[in-house]
Structure 1
Amino acid sequence: MNANVEVRELCKRYGSKKVFEGLDLELGEGVIGLLGPNGAGKTTLLRCLATALTPDSGRTEILGLDPTHWSQRTELRKLIGYLPQNPGLYPHFTAAAMVDYIARLKEVTDRRIRKGEVQRVLAEVDLAEAAGTRVRKLSGGMRQRLGIAQTLIGDPKFLILDEPTVGLDPEQRMRFRTLTSRLGQGRTVLLSTHQTEDIAALCDRVIVFSEGKVVFDGTAPELADAASGRVWASGTQPAAAQVFWRTADGRYRVVGERPPDGTPVAPTVEDGYLQFLGAGARAGA
C-alpha cells in the first residue's frame, strides 16, 4: 500500500487517562471506515490527524509533511478537509458566507477563485439554492451538509469526516454515499461513523478501534465473515446474557452461542463489529 498517512508509536493522554499508546497506522487512497464504541478514542485520533490536537509523543507524517514543524503544519492544513462532530457554524452567517469564511482561513485569497469554490462545494452538497439562507434557518440535515461543503474547499487530498451522516435523511445519505465514493478516487477519506450500513456500502477498508487499539483492519466482507457461524434466528426469546433483538417478523436475531432452536443467518458488518467488541464472547457467558 502506498500510504498517504503514517502514524508511528502515537500516544495521547488526558491527565491520567490514556486514550491510546504506541498506535501504528497507515492509510492509503480510498474510503476508510473507522468503527468503534463511544470512548474508544476515535475522535481524539481524528483531531490529531487533522492537526487540531497535538499528540503527547510519536510520529505522524501526512501527505509527506510533518505536522510538528510549524511551516509544514501550515501547508498541511490547506490539504486537509476536516468535519468535526460539531462543526461550529455561525448562526448569523449565510451558507455562502460560512463557506467563504473557511476558504479565507485556508488562504484562498483570490476573490474570484474563492467565489467559484464556494459555488462549487455548495452545489456538491445540493445547497446551491440555499446559499443566501442564514445558518440559523437551515434544517439539521442542511447544516450537516454545509459542514461537509466546508471540508471540500480547496480540493483537499485528505478528508477526515467525523459522523458526517448524522441528521441526514435516507435520500441525503444516498447522495452522501455517491459523493464520498467519488471523493475516494485519488485521495484518502477517513470516515468515522456508527452507521455500519454506510461502512458496508462505501468503504474499501474498515478499521475497528476499541480502547485505543486497532482490533480489526480489513475489508467489510472480512469483518462480516468474522461473525460467521455466530449469528442465528430463533423463535424464542434468548437468555438475557445473549446479544439479541426482535425482528419485524417476530423472530429474534441472536449474536453469539446458538440458541436451542437457532437457524444460521448470514452475518453482516454489524455482526462482525459486535464480535470484535467482545459481544459474541459475552453472549455465551
Structure 2
Amino acid sequence: MIQINGLTKTYGGRPALDHLDLTLRTGVTGLLGPNGAGKTTLLRCLATTLAPDSGSVTAFGLDPASPSQRTALRRRLGYLPQDPGFYPHFTAFDLVDYVAILKELTDREHRHAEVRRVLAEVDLTGQARTKVRKLSGGMRQRLALAQALLGEPDLLILDEPTVGLDPEQRMSFRALVSRLGESRAVVLSTHQTEDVAALCERVIVLRGGRAVFDGTPGELARVADGQVWLSAEAPATSRMFWRTADGRYRTLGDRPPAAEQATPGVEDGYLMLLGEEVAA
C-alpha cells in the first residue's frame, strides 16, 4: 500500500534518512530507534508535511510530490505529530470540529456526528465542552489522537502516541489501535518497547536513518537469544545491565559469574541490536 524508495533527508550535512527502502501494508507497524535515528523525519515524510531531499514515497498509488495527488493523499491519512499544536481557548469539541473543517467535512450535521464519534473513541465525551487549556496532559494527547481519527483514514501515522497516558488509557489505546490495524495501515513511532510487543505485527528498528531490523516482535526478541542473564551480583565488565524489582541484575551480553539464563523480550533484543550505542 505504501512504498518508500531511496528516501533521503539531510540536516546540516547529517543524514536523518539515508536511502531508506520500505514497503508498508495493512496492519500495525512499530518504529523503534534511539533519538536522532530518523523516526520522526520518516513519519513527517509519510504525512506529507516534509519533502525529502531525494527518493520517493507513494501511498495508494498517489505521489505527494504532485500537488494534486498530495491533496488526495491527505484526505486519506490521519496524523498525530510528536508535538501537536493546540488552541488553548477552544473547547475540545470546537478544536476537533475545526480540524474536521480543514479535512473538508463540510456537512455540519455529519461533521458534528463524526466529531462526537472520535471523542467517544478516545473517552473524551465528558470533556467535549471543556477548554483545551483546562485539560490534563493525557487528555490533550487523547484529543490529538481524536483529530487523527477523523474520517476513518486509510493510513494512520502516530508519533509517540502514548506519551502522558496512564495505564488504563494505554490499555484502551492499544485496544483501539489493534482494531484499526485490522483494516488499514497504522505506523507508530515509540520508545516504549512494551507497546510494540503488545500492539505491532511488525517492527522496524532505525539507526542512522537506515533500517537495521525488519521483522516481528518475536524475531526481535530472539536477537538476544542466549545473551540475557540474571545474577545476584552486578557484573563487573558489562555496561548493559540493570537492577530488577526482585533485587537481581539483568545483564545483556556475556554471562556474568554464577548467572542463570533468562528468556529474552523485545526490549532485550532491541538493546542487543543497538549494543554499545545504547549503553553509551
**Both structures adopt the same fold (TM-score exceeding 0.5):** yes
Q: Count the aligned residue pairs.
A: 280
* Larger CA deviation: 175-184 vs 270-279: 270-279
Q: Distance in 2 between matches of 1:217 and 1:21?
A: 16
Q: Distance in 1 between matches of 2:161 and 2:5?
A: 27
Matched, 1:92 2:89: yes
Q: Distance in 2 between matches of 1:241 and 1:271?
A: 14
Q: Give RMSD over aligned pairs.
A: 1.4
Residue 172 of structure 1 corresponds to: 169
Q: Percent identity?
A: 64
Contact 1:21 1:212 in 2 (8 A): yes
In the alignment, residue 249 of structure 2 is paired with which amino acid?
Y
Residue 28 of structure 2 corresponds to: 31
Q: Distance in 1 between matches of 2:279 and 2:12?
A: 31
Residue 238 of structure 1 corresponds to: 235
Contact 1:256 1:279 in 2 (8 A): no
- Which residue, 5, 8, 22 being the options, matches 2:5? 8
Q: Distance in 1 between matches of 2:8 and 2:91?
A: 39
* Larger CA deviation: 271-280 vs 76-85: 271-280
Shift of 1:20: 1.7
Q: How does 1:253-268 map onto structure 2 within 5 Å?
A: 253-268=250-265
Residue 155 of structure 2 corresponds to: 158
Contact 1:40 1:212 in 2 (8 A): yes
Residue 196 of structure 1 corresponds to: 193
Shift of 1:249: 1.3
Residue 182 of structure 2 corresponds to: 185
TM-score by length of 1: 0.96
Contact 1:243 1:280 in 2 (8 A): no
In the alignment, residue 235 of structure 1 is paired with which amino acid?
A
Residue 54 of structure 1 corresponds to: 51
Shift of 1:268: 0.4
Contact 2:238 2:251 in 1 (8 A): no
For structure 2, the 5+ residue unaligned runs are none
In the alignment, residue 217 of structure 1 is paired with which amino acid?
D
The runs of 4+ residues in structure 1 deviating greater than 6 Å are 280-283
Contact 1:246 1:252 in 2 (8 A): yes
Shift of 1:281: 10
Contact 1:257 1:280 in 2 (8 A): no
Other structure's SS at 2:241 match: strand
Q: Distance in 2 between matches of 1:8 and 1:42?
A: 16
For structure 1, the 5+ residue unaligned runs are none
